[in-house]
A and B are shown apart, each in its own frame.
Chain A
Amino acid sequence: MDSILRVQNLYVKKSSKIIIDIPDLSLSEGTITSIIGENGAGKTTLILTLAGLLRPTNGEIYFYQKKIGTELSLKKYRQNIAIVFQENMLINDTVYENIALGLKFRKMNKLIIKEKVKKMLEIFKISHLRDRKAHTLSGGEAKRVSIARALVLEPDILFLDEPFTSLDSISKEEIISDMIEILRKKKVTTILSTHDKFEAFRLSDLIIVMESGKIIQKGNKEDIIKHPANSFVASFIGAENILEGIVIAKKDGGFIAKVHDKLLECVGSYEIGDKVLLCIRPENIFISKHTLAEEISTRNLFEGKIKEIINFGHFYRITIDTGFNLIAYITKTSIDKLSLKIGDDVITGFKATSIHTISKV
């Protein structure tokens, strides 16, 4: 796929603090990219910079190989993009006027505007709100209008800066479903910043992880899930068990790490003395009421006591104190079969191959 947007040596500095430092980044046409990271990681600044709304301190941005600012004016570039923020930012006018706004900026023919807005109202199921004033809309309705206002422009690139953050879960779900359909159908190159892993996983082809203005990991869902680059990514993708340990020995091509006086067998090449973060997904933790150590391949088995059981509807989240806390997800059937309750003594464990190890800097 062709690169629609490429940045080189992008550098944004605000009062001597480095906000963005990206040597190289290329985004393919028609793909959906999510930018994830903690607060202050630089997600919004990167979105604003890529959208041509914030002048970088240094660096070049290329749109279809044309350098923005020299080969392509910023004004023309902005005519090819659209942006949606967390706040809806609607003007104090009707829904129709709000959706038509960008088209009017582009001096389009009134009949064409009418036609395009009508179509967008239908797609987003808000035709009945056409003449309603923006300030009378609910949060979900206003969000639909702000997204429709961006998509009606048929932008080459759509920037979404945490657009679903303030929505209730029902509205969010409905809007995301509709958006996925439109974005995939129209093959709109989309760049989304988000805190929500489900949003990132559902929408994206590519995930970019940012920390302190730098891209620390870039890859598809599978890469990120299997090989999280740091504890933030691990926790973001749902590895609820992140154990801090130190390598004390090498064994059978793997290593043994000490975590709170317990020894864990892990796979990978680490040197004695290395500090590591061991990430285990909660669905890879098993619980038993009997000792099975001799009969199973699981290398890491611990005795523990159930501290907490939370019902999540489809599954239960159980916290087991083994000297360190382990979190396991298990089904209701398993809970019933084992008659698990808070305070029960259990055997818990996980395979060495279930551990994803990250070097602790």
Chain B
Amino acid sequence: MTVPVVSVEDVSKRFGAVQALRDVSIAFHAGEITALIGENGAGKSTLMRVLEGEHRPDAGKVLVDGQPVQLTSPRMAHGAGIRVIHQEPEIIPELTVAENIFIGDIKARAGLFLDRADLERRSLELLRTFGVIDVLSPGQRCFGLSPALRQLIEIMRALRPGARLLAFDEPTSSLTEDEAQRLFRVIRRLKADGVAVIYISHRLREIIELADRCVVMRDGSRVADEPIAALDEQRMVRLMVGRPVSDLFNRRERTLGPVRLALEGVTTRRVEGISFEVRAGEIVGLGGLVGAGRTEVARAIVGLDPLLSGQMAAGGRPYRPREPADAVAAGIGLVPEDRKQEALLLMQAVRDNVSLVVPDKVSRYGFFSRRRERALVARHVAELRVKTPSIDQAVSKLSGGNQQKVVFARWQARGPAVLILDEPTRGIDVGAKAEIYRLVESLADQGLAILLISSEMPELLGLADRILVMQGGRISGELAWREASEEAVLALAMRSGRETIERRVS
């Protein structure tokens, strides 16, 4: 057995109450592609941060060429040949493509001046390798490049000499099928050159196609490490979730009531011609890639983005919001994507956060009634089983799952007719996720109309009665839950068309 290029042995890492990594041991060999899968919060990202020298493990060690090393800074990890390509590329818009690729390694003439010729030569080589020579030129500024191209630049940056372990963190989440295939060719060549590759992705088909081996993580532990031939998609999912996915959801036919929310030809600066209806008791899923315009649909509905054309109706009446206050008044609630930035008042208590949208229920003539407020908040907090020592606890001290329940409790207290959920389980552990799913189902059973935006395929497939798929700011198709599958959703989300061409030339 050869000595692995990089390995981790019994690595553990804890953040406050969360055990992010628990005795994880994995070896990464030269010329091998190791897929790393697991749900959000399973510990993949933390492991990457340990390898990158961003986090130091509480216990265990990292070995390079069989020798224990202390990676105390990203610079050290970079020097040891460990490179991580992140999901969100860090591209400086004012610099050129070549400068972005070689930043930190730009040669100077006479010790002072940019050696443009050298930069251009080196970057042309890379651009040719990636087959994007006709789309990107070395001297072009990076301002306004599509996510796919930005991702590519980040990858080229990581490929600079000395790379021995390359980790890709969901590199294809914003790529089209064509672009992904091109990326795979590059990864296979890296493998042939003897680089150890870590490939993190939620797309299991890709993994089966590309990887040699698959490591599955769940709740901070490594739960499987097997050759790819020994796995199929179903088993991978079961290993990730810890139980068959179907157990998380309570799939049954729902009785639908009248239309609660209707959009017709809604167009804003970011989305175009959006039409759909959500009925009482119905969960309508909104799928698509990141950046497809799903959140922007929610923004239009709650009055954050003005309508350029089209119309909406809420509860059967014309509805034209100019402010989110209009949405709240019309019985539409939003659980936003970014809990900490958009949903919670972190400096304040659970109580303030819940009672925020029901001033009329906790006051008289504009003056607070503490007694009423306490009673109302306590009831909803208990109903949703929010784990908090008291309703006076600062909301920032709660776990992600309980924070999200506080946001749900807020809308429960208000009792809206329509609830828009934007990535409701982002950054939440598996246990709390299951609770949120049951909650969403029971809200629908109570007759709420629910619009569910999610990037997590099992969630979308498991909860929604029908799924609208978006691409490039438009709805590219609709699937009833019986005909919906991961493949069907992805196919609609990435259907090559006008948008793809536009992205290429942009």
Q: Do A and B bind each other?
A: no
Binding site for A on B (CB under 8 A): none
